[in-house]
Homo-oligomer: A and B are copies of this chain.
Amino acid sequence: MSKYYEKLEPFLEKGMALTTATTLIEWDVETAAPMEAEENTTRVIGILSSEFFSAYNNDEVKKLVYKLQETKEQESLTPKQKGIVRELAKKIEELDKIPPKEYREYNEIKARAFGVWTKAKENNRFEDFAPILEQLISYNKKFAKYRQKRGEHLYDILLEEYEPGFHMEQYDVFFEKLKSELIPFIKKISEKKDTIDKSYNEKSYEIEKQKEFSNYLAAYVGFDFNRGIIAESAHPFTTNLHNRDVRITNHFYKNNLESAIFSIIHETGHALYEMGIDDELTQTLLGEGTSMGVHESQSRFYENIIGRSKEFWIPLYPKLVEQFPEQLKEVSLEQFIKGINKSVPGFIRTEADELTYSIHVLIRYEIEKMIFEEKVSVKELPKIWNQKYKEYLGVEPENDTVGILQDVHWSGGMFGYFPTYALGSAIGAQIYYHMKSIMPFEKYLEEGTLTPIRDYLKDKIHKYGKMKYTNELISDMTGEAFNPDYYIRYLKEKYSKLYELEDVTIEE
């Protein structure tokens, strides 16, 4: 083994352990920690983040990484080691120019922002969140400027973090296509929205019974309870300590059956990715999903393409009716399928139907672009937000809680993340048409045999971790580069059929 690589290992280990510890603390903050713990715990997170910073970003590591990138040393490395050095070099590039003090301050602000956002959302007071949001934006700008190369856009630097290789150049084309193709289509569909009755969804569903079914669904889709746990939080999410400790959360509303069902399928999609990472890669810099877009391609593939299909529910629906006989005994499978796919332009991204979903993302993309590329003040954001909802979806948020305050991401300093949700959905559609062409996809669902689907995804995507990036994964799997047309085709086919439209042209 390369002696330089060997010298690198203690630093890699330390970085890994600190990341795991911080991840667990953050999970705990969102699922368990007591209310008044925040300030003291924030200090701990700040210190650990400094330690993480200096584990990777120090002269010795830099020298080793520099050495290990030389052609001769590269030859002595295994592909895995090469990948780790590549990822480490990227991390160092990210951290190198940030003064340690600012990095720690930023992490402390992030740790505090979650609580501020939670309260602001609860109280519908954007003005309470605005000051810390401004700080988060300003740190992100500052950090991106430290790294900015000549001619590089600030927002591109952020986008690259969540989706290597996807910048405004790519996203602009992608979102323009969605905008021009989907907005008129959504308008046409929303005229017919009253043809579907889903009033059953707002009946009263006992929380405990919802939880039971949610856990059953997770296991049905493939969540391995020996390698993961499920908890509750305001906003469902997935986190992973390693490939044998993957955690998801769900939330429950008495008068909304769907919410918990599709959240758990979504998060299980994420969890399967992380549980499927190769044992050789877990606990290394290659040991997690390659990008947020690919991650969302898995979660949204399970949530929508699988989870909202009729075939998926053929074996499952009787079980759901059994769980809630009073509420569902009069609701046929057909009505349920129409209900869970009903398209109604609304305020909340995470509760949006599949068709309008990407427009929610488009709006966030455009706003983030304005934040980082134009001069727009935080104060103006709610107004811009509401205008865009009005313009694209024809609805205006009643208040900021269901408007600009709805998502947790910005409170975690995640700017540039949102676009990956739409990208992931589009990748999912491409995977879908590919899988349909090579296996009896619908038949598997009807028979309740999800294993071949799960195994195929594991074999083509999950196990690689960050050994392959998005474009390589897609081409190696489907034989074709990323192509958003599949997504538009999928949505138009599905919704034309559902709403019995006749005159929709689908270009293939």
Contact = CB atoms under 8 A, between A and B. Distances in A.
Contacts of A39: 244
A226 B243 CA distance: 33
Contacts of A13: 47
B282 A40 contact: yes
Q: Which residue, of A18, A21, A39, has the highest number of chain B Cβ atoms within 10 A?
A: A21
B242 A40 contact: yes
Contacts of A34: 225-229, 244-245
Copies of this polypeptide in the complex:
2
A24 interface: yes
A44 B17 contact: yes
A148 B348 CA distance: 66
Nearest to A13: B47
A283 B226 contact: no
Contacts of A244: 34, 36-37, 39-40
Most chain B CB atoms below 10 A, which of A34, A35, A51, A227: A34
Interface in A260-303: 282-283
Contact of A17 (B20, B51, B242, B283): B51
A229 B47 contact: no
Contact of A245 (B14, B16, B33): B33
Contact of A21 (B14, B44, B226): B44
Contacts of A36: 226-227, 244-245
A241 interface: yes
Nearest to A46: B17
Of listed A22, A32, A226, residue having the most chain B CB within 10 A: A32
A28 interface: yes
A48 B48 CA distance: 11
A453 interface: no
A100 B14 CA distance: 15
A167 interface: no
A238 interface: no
Interface residues of A, number: 38
A240 to B, nearest CB: 10
Contacts of A51: 14, 17, 51
A43 interface: yes
A293 to B, nearest CB: 26
Nearest to A32: B229
B17 A241 contact: no
Contact of A242 (B14, B41, B226): B41
A25 interface: yes
Interface string A386-420: 00000000000000000000000000000000000
Interface in A291-326: none
A104 to B, nearest CB: 11
Contacts of A245: 33-34, 36-37, 40-41
A43 to B, nearest CB: 7
Nearest to A25: B24
B16 A44 contact: yes
Contact of A226 (B25, B35, B231): B35
Contacts of A225: 34
A282 B43 CA distance: 12
A33 B27 CA distance: 12
A278 B262 CA distance: 46
A180 to B, nearest CB: 46
B283 A37 contact: no
A25 B23 CA distance: 11
Contact of A283 (B16, B20, B43): B43
Nearest to A45: B17
Given A17-B43, A17-B47, A37-B241, 7 more contacts: A18-B48, A21-B25, A24-B28, A28-B28, A33-B245, A37-B244, A40-B241
Closest A-B pairs by Cβ, 10 of them: A17-B47, A37-B245, A21-B21, A40-B242, A36-B244, A35-B226, A20-B44, A36-B226, A17-B44, A36-B227
Interface of A: 13-14, 16-18, 20-22, 24-25, 28, 32-37, 39-41, 43-44, 47-48, 51, 225-229, 231, 241-245, 282-283
30 contacts: A14-B51, A16-B44, A16-B47, A17-B43, A17-B44, A17-B48, A20-B41, A21-B25, A24-B24, A32-B231, A33-B229, A33-B245, A34-B225, A34-B229, A34-B245, A35-B226, A36-B226, A36-B244, A36-B245, A37-B242, A37-B244, A37-B245, A40-B241, A40-B242, A40-B245, A40-B282, A41-B241, A41-B245, A43-B283, A51-B51
